[in-house]
Chains A and B, each alone.
Chain A
Amino acid sequence: MAARDNHGTGAPWDDAFRVVGQPLRKVDGLAKATGQALYADDVQLPGMLHAKILRSPHAHARIVSIDASAALALPGVHAVITGADLPIRYGVIPWTPDENALAVDKVRFVGDEVAAVAAVDEDTANAALDAIEVEYEPLHAFLDPREALATPEPQIHADIRGKPVRGNVSKHVELEFGDVEAALAGADLVLEGEYSFHGSTHAPIEPHCAVAQVSADGLLTLWSSTQITHYVHRALAQVLELAPERIRVIQPCLGGAFGGKSDPFALEFCVALLAQRTGRPVKMLWTREEVFYAHRGRHPMQMQYRCGAKSNGRITGVDARILIDGGSYSSFGLVTTYYSGQLLTGPYDFPSYRFDSTRVFTNKPPCGPKRGHGSVQPRFAFEVQFDEVAERLGIDPIEIRRVNFQGDDTQTVNGQRITSNGFLRCLDLVEEASGWKQRRGQLPYGRGLGVAGSMYISGTNYPVYPNDMPQAGIQLKLDRSGVVTVFTGGNDIGQGSNTVVRSIVAEELGVAYDHVRVVAADTDLCPVDLGAYSSRITFMVGNATIDACRKLRHQIVTALAEAWEVDPRRIRLMEGRAFDVEDPDRTVPTREAFQVAEARFDTLGSTGSYNTPQLGGDYRGGTIGASPAYSFTAHVVEVDVDVETGIVRVPAAWCAHDCGRALNPTLVAGQIEGSTYMGLAEALLEEHGVNRFGLHRGPSLLDYRMPTSLDVGDIHAMIVESVDPEGPYGAKEAGEGPLHGSIPALANAIHDAIGVRLRHLPFTPGTVLRALRDQGGKGEGAAVGSTAAATSKREAR
């Protein structure tokens, strides 16, 4: 298997990179700036029908009967389907298939899908939904995860994959590394505290949409706004009981995802079946309200942390107990539960560590992976507690993070291999840029600075479904015209992965940037890639691209060297030309070089692939969260708290992110800014919750309060390039890591500003005012809304 190690981290030709590292434009920038980019809802096919979904009004109920006869009788209605038509259960994680495209027997949240209609237009389809009669028998609905944990009946899921579910527990993971109790006993200070993270959702600007068409020879083509084409392909085959070779899945241009389009969704199965049933193309576009109910957003977590430290600031041990509110289905929940513990063991050295995480089912919209999957919540809790440790010990919060730095080329306590690690440099940069030394603690009351650190994965070696095939594949085709076409299964969801692929090809083969065309995310045309999640594309697809290019490069160089009768080491392919480095006058355009090679080797093409090396701890779950390389981040956030209104403003935030080599600094900066923006937004403004009936509190963009351009402060992105030995040219991830620290840095800044520790998100004006009120009389450093307690050994003695 082609692992990166063979390729080195340097430029492919001589010392300098020519394309990589340049702030080049996006491959699809022009299409997007002219309105020509084609998104799923822009696909319009002749004779196309429009589909709509009937959703449950109950949070938990048995379906007694469904009568769709009146709907079917309406003129313009072509088909109605229910759970009986799609009885096979699926789930993105093969161990937990607990979803039906349309509910069978039971509904599990308000908004659960019950029936689907295809009609001549959306209005007719909606009228048909009104005509479907469903009789429900309501069941007790669990909206509180603690209640769901304590109450085994009624069960939300009785069994998954034939195995009985224990009460309403979705997943439980308990792992201990080293002896935590002994480590805490040996600490000079032990802090204990409760923290909670609320629910938030992705709210991608593009609503989910899918279009299906069945050709005369029975080939099903699905255009879908998915971020993982390959898993949709697999799930369709499984649920429709259709051979995979009869299915083609295409991801058109995608209008944002952030994890919210990673699961296979009901609409994909429904349009596929409706297209089969009606013989006509079928489109389903979800309304904004439906997007909120589809959710798969950030898991609410209730977290208890204990952290022990020596008086010099060194951590001795960390102990976590986490209750995870999973909502109504498993989704990626098995992974979420592991990630909630496994991804905390950097950038600091934990001599001992234990976590006990339990995910429970509740009758709410299902949670799933949102940017920084599973690890944003624990990171918030830990970094806030760690800040308090620094405070109690009288150590500067940045300094205590330096003191505990784990180093590079090391191993974490839970067996994860750390290669490059630029965290110290990140700390230096945010300290310097924010004026930390001069300003922290010196700002007037109401203003403050806070810091936090974090790490994240660049993909993992856990391929969701077990197999020995590559995790990323690439195919290249060279044309006599001088054009190189790249076929990649990778999903460009706005992060710019197709642009990264193009840059690598242009660098490796020395062709002009715009002579590289990228064909992506079409299962008929492109080799499999596992898709846009876990921040894996740049790392894995990038490595696969280099692999494919090196093979072709070898052929071109060999053919030219033979033709010119020189040593192949003298040949260079750069900037649209091939030349002899010792006789630069001997040169041809790359097009001619391709032709020489084609004459010598026949039609030119190559494949490349990437698989992670064996990684992870030698214990159950040890590979989940084991990444070939980790990114590291430091944030400093500045706040301005209005103590009259409780409104927290963020005039500025600094984020330094170690992404290895920045293949395109503009794209990296965009990811750093976008991540920081999203983290601050969910901490201050956004809340995804349901009322006592399980109804969403405000499923619209008016009620779900995303920041506008007036609410966004200055975000300063700084790039640290640690050059990882295994990344493509040394690159690591940039799309999710820079979210994590923004939230705890904000909390820590609020403490610096007004002397109050906020441990429960979100930080709405009400929370802040309450905290200030409770603080009255207690003075600086009061703890709010929690049972934080500290024991100081020295004091006790």
Chain B
Amino acid sequence: MTERRVEEERRGFSRRAFLQGAGGVAAASSLTEAVHAAQDPASEVQRMRGPEEVELRVNGGTLPATVEPRTTLLDALRHRVDPPLTGTKLVCGEGACGACTVLVDGRPMYACMLLAADVVGREIRTVEGLADGDGLSPVQEAFCEKDGLMCGFCTPGFLMSATGLLERKPDADAEEVRRALSGNFCRCGTQPHIFEAVAEAGRRLREGGR
């Protein structure tokens, strides 16, 4: 870790270089929001000069992480907290696939398009935070039951998008489900089973299950 940090400082990667790269592919709303946040003069990132230790609020706890201004939330979750939260996946790194979706203050967002420093103080939920002890969340339970997963690599992202939707709107209809999941790719073609799973999870949530 220290070796890595030294290297990063030595090359002095700038926030601007990162944002130029990211700006070129601005498409998803969460991405645009990330870019705006980083350009906001009040943004935490504006103040930072180099690596700093921050505290991230993740899954109801507080996790210290050393991040640079350019460190994405995805990188921080997978590599900079202890223990690493590798449930959130890196697939494209440019806001195109949704595999890295997490909930930020309850809203599904692409973790590869958010700067870690920008979400300090906000409530982050990852796939590791869905289950309550041994009890799966209704969405997880329904994905297992309806076989809403094949290779499973897209699954954490889908679970978070679906959770974000159903917590806001447990009675979401089929069209709303399709729309809410349209920012997530599943290459295995599990969609029919995922739609079923989300419908089932909504039913359970409405019936008062956890």
Q: Report A's interface with B, CB cutoff 8 A.
A: 23, 25-26, 28-39, 41-42, 44, 75-76, 119-121, 123-124, 127, 202-207, 253-258, 285, 287-288, 493-496, 666-667, 669-670, 673-678, 700-702, 706, 708-710, 712, 714-715, 717
Contact of B182 with A by CB under 8 A: yes
- B150 contacts A495, C-beta separation under 8 Å: yes
Compute how far the CA of A205 lies from the CA of B99 in the bound complex, rounded to whole angstroms.
Answer: 8
Q: A205-B89, A701-B91 are in contact. List 5 more A-B contacts (CB 8 A).
A: A31-B152, A35-B128, A204-B153, A701-B92, A717-B192
Mostly helix, strand, loop or mixed at chain B's interface?
A: loop
* CB-based contact B8/A123 at 8 Å: yes
Nearest neighbor of B8 in chain A, beta-carbon distance: A123
- How many chain B residues have a CB neighbour from A under 8 Å? 63
Say yes or no: A120 contacts B4, CB within 8 Å: yes
Query: Least Cβ distance of B189 to chain A in Å?
Result: 3
A25 B147 Cβ-Cβ under 8 A: yes
A123 and B7 in contact (CB under 8 A), knowing A206-B89, A677-B191, A700-B92?
Answer: yes
Q: Is B96 interfacial (CB 8 A cutoff)?
A: yes
* Choice from B7, B8, B152 contacting A253 with Cβ under 8 Å: B152
In the complex, chain A residues whose CB is within 8 Å of the CB of B126: 35
A379–B140 Cα distance when bound, in Å, is 39
Q: Which of A33, A127, A666, A709 contacts B143 (CB 8 A)?
A: A33
**Contacts A256-B188, A702-B96 known; A121 to B4 CB distance under 8 Å?**
yes
CB neighbours of B187 from chain A (8 A): 202-205, 256, 258, 678, 706
Q: Knowing A35-B86, A288-B92, A708-B183 touch, does A123 contact B153 (C-beta < 8 A)?
A: no
A194 to B79, CA, bound (A): 53
How many A-B residue pairs have C-beta atoms within 8 angstroms? Tell me: 190
The answer to whether B152 and A709 touch across the interface, beta carbons within 8 angstroms, is no
| B105 is an interface residue with CB less than 8 A from chain A | no
Of all chain B residues, the one with the shortest Cβ separation from A253 is B152
Task: Report the nearest A residue to B156, measured CB to CB.
Answer: A35
Query: Which one of B94, B128, B152, B178 has the highest number of Cβ atoms from chain A below 10 Å of its Cβ?
Result: B152
B184 adjacent to chain A (CB < 8 Å): yes
Contact B93 A287 (CB under 8 A): yes
CA distance in complex: A717, B190 (Å): 12
* A–B Cβ pairs within 8 angstroms, 26 of them: A33-B140, A33-B149, A35-B87, A35-B88, A36-B87, A39-B89, A39-B153, A119-B7, A121-B3, A123-B7, A204-B153, A205-B151, A205-B153, A206-B89, A288-B92, A494-B152, A494-B153, A670-B190, A673-B193, A674-B188, A701-B92, A702-B25, A706-B185, A708-B184, A709-B178, A710-B182
Q: Is B11 an interface residue (CB 8 A)?
A: yes
Say whether B27 faces chain A, with CB atoms less than 8 Å apart.
yes
> Counting CB contacts under 8 A, is B67 at the interface?
no
Q: Which B residues form the contact surface with A (CB < 8 A)? A: 3-4, 6-8, 10-11, 13, 25, 27, 79, 84-94, 96-97, 99, 126-128, 130-131, 136, 140, 143-145, 147, 149-156, 159, 177-179, 181-195
The smallest C-beta distance from A580 to any residue of chain B, in angstroms, reads: 36
What residue of chain A has the Cβ atom nearest to residue B160's Cβ? Answer: A35
CB-defined contacts of A76 to chain B, threshold 8 Å: 3, 6-7
Out of A23, A496, A678, which one reaches B189, CB within 8 Å?
Answer: A678
**A121 x B185 contact (CB < 8 A):** no
Could you say which residues of chain B place their CB within 8 Å of the CB of A204?
A: 151, 153, 187
Once A33-B155, A676-B189, A715-B192 are accepted as A-B contacts, the answer to whether A205 and B87 lie under 8 Å apart by CB is no
Q: How far is the CA of A675 from the CA of B189 in the complex (A)?
A: 7
Q: Nearest-CB distance from A513 to chain B (Å)? A: 13
Report Cα–Cα, A391/B82, bound state, in Å: 66
**Distance from A387 Cβ to chain B, minimum over Cβ atoms (Å):** 25
Residues of chain A within 8 A (CB-CB) of B130 are 34
Within the complex, the shortest CB–CB distance from B173 to chain A, in Å, comes to 14
Query: Is B190 touching A41 in the complex (CB atoms < 8 A)?
Result: no
Q: How long is the Cα–Cα vector from A680 to B185 in the complex, in angstroms? A: 15
Q: Across the interface, do B152 and A288 meet the contact criterion of CB distance under 8 Å?
A: no
A33 and B136 within 8 A (CB): yes
Determine if B151 and A34 form an interchain contact, defined as CB atoms under 8 angstroms apart.
no
Q: Are A37 and B7 in contact (CB under 8 A)?
A: no
Q: Evaluate contact between A35 and B127: CB separation under 8 angstroms.
A: yes
**Complex: how many Å from CA A796 to CA B53?**
86
Contact of A494 among B4, B91, B188 (CB under 8 A): B188
**Residues of chain A with a CB closer than 8 A to B10's CB:** 75
- Return chain B residues, CB-CB under 8 Å to A207: 90-91
B136 contacts across to A, CB distance below 8 A: 30, 33-34
Interface residue from A119, A255, A670, A701 paired with B153 (Cβ < 8 Å): A255
Interface pair B152/A32, CB less than 8 Å apart: yes
Verify A496–B150 contact, CB threshold 8 A.
yes
| A172 vs B155: C-alpha distance when bound (angstroms) | 43
Contact of B152 among A28, A41, A674 (CB under 8 A): A28
A446–B143 Cα gap in the complex (Å)? Answer: 37
